[in-house]
Amino acid sequence: MLSWEYPPIIVGGIAPHVYDLTRALTANGAEVHLITAGGRDAPAFEDVNGVKVYRVLPYQVSSPDFVTWVSQFNVALLERAIPILADRSFQIVHAHDWLVAYAARAIKYAARLPLVVTIHATEYGRNNGLHNDTQRHISDIEWWLTYEAWKVICCSNFMQDEVRRVFQTPQDKLVVIPNGVDVNSFKKRSKTARRTDYAAPDEKIVFYVGRLVKEKGVQVLLDAAPEILAEYPKTKFVIAGKGPHLEHLQRQAALLGISNRVYFTGYISDEVRNSLYSWADVAVFPSLYEPFGIVALESMAARTPVVVSDCGGISEIV
């Protein structure tokens, strides 16, 4: 299995998806070898719940842009995969999104293995179209990956329709397998975080957790905040996560005059996230584009009331 995300490298929903998937496959008797990105002092190899996890770093040469970095990363993936493939036999290679496409395709042909691909999102969908050469290039890689795949897994009917429409993928290649979460994993709470670290005892908490990018729609939540505060003045909006949209959101909160009512926490651990779910009066996910929306599933698993936008795959689970 190939994925650019896996704990402790967590950028979006791919990391928890791959973590839970590999753990479940191993629990069901499959032998799983995962090659993923290294860094953050994570070991180059470890056994996680029976999953053999190999971490690699791209070659330490300059990368003028992210697409170049991805190419270098794929060479590192392939370099690590070669001795693993030589040491044992495999039945399948499973790739997650375009970021591992080159290595996945090379392994497919070199090892003569069927290729299964999970498309978590598309460049077309993320940007509501393709507006520059980089976006068109990434979309081309996504199409190529679905073309090379034996089966293409989508996490929702919405995503299946998008892949079929954008890439003209044949229906007999497509399979819908919704994401899932382990309910028991939300019982573990932080031993150090306190509710008063985030809101006053008499304040209600509106909670968002996720990447701070335009398509997640946090700006919509901030636009709605003054109306909420007019009805419930003692409300704190706790925004957890990081991303390139952070400064824009902070400026927006200041222009709306609600900076003192919005707490941008930055990255939080799973234990703190679980605690915030338990303290929150409501979790809100106002996405503009959402192939599935695993955070909404997490919120429900934590028994927190959830409000979502009527958008994409998230509408299928709430």
The length of the chain is 318
Dihedral sign, Cα of residue 8, residue 9, residue 15, residue 19: negative
Q: What is the mean pLDDT of residues 240-267?
A: 96
pLDDT band, very low/low/confident/very high, at 246 (cuts 50, 70, 90): very high
Domain ranges of the chain: 14-179, 184-317
> Phi/psi of residue 227, each to 5°?
-70, -40
Residues 146-202: tens digit of each pLDDT: 999 999 999 999 999 999 999 999 999 999 999 988 888 888 888 899 999 999 999
CATH architecture of 14-179: 3-Layer(aba) Sandwich (3.40)
pTM of the model: 0.86
Residue 11 predicted with pLDDT over 90? no
Q: What is the mean pLDDT of residues 127-140?
A: 96
pLDDT attached to residue 41? 87
pLDDT attached to residue 59? 84
Domains 14-179 and 184-317 share a fold: yes
Residues 32-63: tens digit of each pLDDT: 999 999 987 899 999 999 999 999 998 888 88
* Distance of alpha carbon 76 from alpha carbon 57, whole angstroms: 7
CATH architecture of 184-317: 3-Layer(aba) Sandwich (3.40)
pLDDT attached to residue 54? 98
Exposure of 17 in the CB half-sphere (CA atoms within 13 A): 25
Q: What is the mean pLDDT of residues 20-35?
A: 96
The two beta strands, 204-209 and 51-56, are unpaired
Exposure of 59 in the CB half-sphere (CA atoms within 13 A): 11
DSSP string covering 99-115 = GGHHHHHHHHHHHT--E
Q: Is the peptide bond before 8 cis (omega within 30 degrees of 0)?
A: yes
